[in-house]
Amino acid sequence: MQITLVRGDITEQHVDAVVNAANSSLLGGGGVDGAIHRRGGKAILDECRRLRASHYGGGLPTGRAVATTAGELPARWVIHTVGPVYSGSADRSDQLASCYRESLRVADELGAASVAFPAVSAGIYGWPMDDAARIAVGTVRSTPTRVGDVRFVLFTGDALAAFEKALGG
């Protein structure tokens, strides 16, 4: 597997699957989630509504992942995963790692060869970027997968620096 880091906009990535740092409702929100829904268009929201009605009426559980169409994005699929909200008093690292493992599992089921990840939970969910990067890179490296191209797409220079440190470069 090749892991690359990109500073940019995840909605512009030409990959098989883009991972969405979704909220449990699957109905869009802020940050990466809002950007993916806005750029991807109505098809993503329609499919999320169908998933919610048929399987996830109470919301997608934290650490789980599910795929939809990518709509108008330059990807084939969106893999939605719900990251944990950071808590300084409760260790939720396993839930954050599960987001990456589950997303790769779904990517394998889809036959995706390339996947773009954001820094799950490191935005409005408050996870410290250095720790989020360490968990993300470590989990992706240790997860068996057929995905050959994993891209972490970071929106800021600080996020990119944290991922560079975690990657060892």
All residues at 6 or more sequence positions from 14 whose CB lies less than 8 Å from its CB, including other chains: 74, 75
- With the C-alpha atoms ordered 25, 44, 35, 96, is the resulting torsion angle positive or negative? positive
Distance between CA atoms of 29 and 149, rounded to whole angstroms?
A: 27
Catalytic position from the list 9, 16, 33, 108: 33
Q: Is 33 a catalytic residue?
A: yes
Distance between CA atoms of 110 and 145, rounded to whole angstroms?
A: 12
CA distances from 103 to 14, 65, 132, 165 (A): 17, 6, 16, 23
Q: Which residues are catalytic?
A: 33
